[in-house]
Amino acid sequence: MSKGLKRIHHVEFVVGNAKQAAFFYRKAFGFDQVAYRGPETGTPESVSYVMKQGEIWMILTTPLRHEDPMNTWLTMHGDGVRDMAFEVDDIDAVFAKATGAGAEAHSEPHALGDDLGTMRTAAIRTYGEVLHTFIQRDDYKGFLPGFEIREIKGQGTGLLCIDHIVGNVSDLQMDKWVDWYNETLGLGRFVSYDDKDICTDFTALRSTVVASDDRVIKFPINEPADGLKKSQIQEYIDANLTAGVQHLALSTDDILTTIQALRDNGVEFLAVPDGYYDTVWERVGEVKEDKERIKELGILVDHDENGYLLQLFTRPLQDRPTLFFEIIQRRGSDSFGKGNFKALFETIEQEQALRGNL
């Protein structure tokens, strides 16, 4: 039995219209809609749709009552991630360690159940207004109590797992949150990038990755750094009003097919800057994929001493320039695409300028 975190159980988004969001993530990204909770299933105050693809589980939730505090959350942040939930074996130990190390409790360990069994849950607060729920499944046979199976299949696009989840925090708050993850949840410092690694002539940020020992859970944490113009991290903080989740990286083992399918579905990706493919192969070396197809699909490539990776970033998934997805295929490399940061940021700066935020 593991003493700590086993895996990411699900990610919950609060959205303005869960019915339409479920349609979007099913039609655009190919998620199956698998379960539902709402007034018809005994939860009159909100509706939630469970979306699944590979081992990726997302809950999309909308409050139904005007006095619900979740509406204030939506007013402040817009659609976004409210909870990154972990499966654990020993919820009392995990909760006691986290709160003993200073984590603020959101809910104490308590039992939940329905006719599919019982489980135990609790939650703590992390950066911004984001939660970490803990779930000890015990003998529970369904997804979570209160949900009813309501399946609408999506056309899968080959997405497999959550590779990493990135948080943006305010200026000079990164080290504090790295220590927080280490002390409360036992996630160690995996790798750091400073503002010389991640900058253009105009904007910059710093990033440190914390990870579980088995690297199943990887959380990069970004903070803005001073540049001549406004960091994209500061733009996020301004739009989100607080720290929050910047992106979910979703893995595939066939990125060419995945990106083709997503583009066919109308998913919008950040454009690759002119000239990127003139130099990328000198930098990265040989790859198994067809280089022409990589270029046609606008996929980014990077490498480290262990191998290479292919990645691409969507444009924001809602109208505020906040949450987006990354699609990633690893071929040995366990880095995060440092070699692409500069190219990518120049594209992001162009989009920031169009929004009047540079």
8 Å CB contact between 59 and 10? yes
CB within 8 Å of 292: residues ≥ 6 apart: none
Residue 188 CA to chain centroid, in angstroms?
19
Closer of 22 and 187 to Fe ion (Cβ): 187
Q: Which is nearer to Fe ion, 123 or 165 (by Cβ)?
A: 165
CA distance 324 to 21: 14
Binding letters toward Fe ion, positions 306-345, x by CB under 5 A: --------------------x-------------------
The half-sphere exposure of 287 on its side-chain side, counting CA atoms within 13 A, is 27
> How many other CB atoms are found less than 10 A from the CB of residue 20?
12
- At 213, list the tokens: 């020992």
> Which stretch in 29-37, 85-93, 247-255, 285-293 sits in contact with Fe ion by CB under 5 A?
247-255
Q: Between 126 and 246, name the residue whose CB sits nearer to Fe ion.
A: 246
User: Taking a C-beta distance cutoff of 8 angstroms, is the pair 170, 241 a contact?
Assistant: no
Q: What is the smallest separation between the CB atom of 164 and Fe ion, expressed in angstroms? A: 6
In the complex, the smallest distance separating the C-beta of residue 326 from Fe ion, rounded to whole angstroms, is: 4
Please give the single-letter amino acid code of residue 283. R
**Cα of 230 vs its chain's centroid, Å:** 23
Beta carbons within 10 angstroms of residue 281's beta carbon? 14
Q: Write down the residue that tokens 């262990």 correspond to.
A: 306
Tell me the closest approach of the beta carbon of residue 309 to Fe ion, in angstroms: 10
Cα distance between residue 34 and residue 50, in whole Å = 6
Q: Which stretch binds Fe ion (CB under 5 A): 47-55, 70-78, 149-157, 244-252?
A: 244-252
Show the site string, 201-240: x = touches Fe ion by CB under 5 A, - = not: ----------------------------------------
| Closer CB to Fe ion, 127 or 147, in the complex | 127
Near Fe ion by CB under 5 A, which window of 112-120, 167-175, 241-249, 253-261? 241-249
Cα separation, 12 vs 28, in Å, equals: 18
Between 233 and 249, name the residue whose CB sits nearer to Fe ion.
Answer: 249
Please report which helix (H) or strand (E) contains residue 238, including its range: helix 232-240
Segment near Fe ion (CB under 5 A), from 43-51, 147-155, 243-251, 340-348? Answer: 243-251
Residue 125 beta carbon to Fe ion: minimum distance, rounded to whole angstroms:
23
The residue count for binding Fe ion (CB under 5 A) is: 2
Q: Least distance (Å) from Fe ion to the CB of residue 183? A: 24
CA distances from 282 to 126, 287, 294, 301 (A): 41, 11, 15, 11
Cβ closest to Fe ion, residue 77 vs residue 218: 218
> Residue-wise over 26-48: b if at least 16 C-beta within 10 A, else e?
bebbbbbbbbbbbeebebeebbb
Residues contacting residue 139 through CB under 8 Å, at least 6 positions apart = 117, 118
Report, in Å, the least distance between residue 166 CB and Fe ion: 5
- Smallest distance from the beta carbon of 17 to Fe ion, in angstroms? 27
In the complex with Fe ion, which residue's Cβ is closer, 249 or 301? 249
Instruction: Pick between residue 34 and residue 199 the one whose CB is nearest to Fe ion.
Output: 199
Minimum distance from residue 84 beta carbon to Fe ion (Å): 15
Nearer to Fe ion, 50 or 225 (CB): 225
In the complex, the smallest distance separating the C-beta of residue 121 from Fe ion, rounded to whole angstroms, is 28
The SS3 call for residue 245 is strand
As measured in angstroms, the least distance from the Cβ of 322 to Fe ion is: 15
Residues 6+ apart with CB under 8 A from 116: 140, 141, 142, 145
3 state DSSP class of 5: strand
> Contact letters (x/-) for Fe ion, 165-194, by CB under 5 A?
------------------------------
Tell me whether residue 120 or residue 164 sits nearer to Fe ion (CB atom).
Answer: 164
Instruction: Choose, by CB under 5 A, the member of 34, 233, 249, 256 that binds Fe ion.
Output: 249
Binding site for Fe ion (CB under 5 A): 249, 326
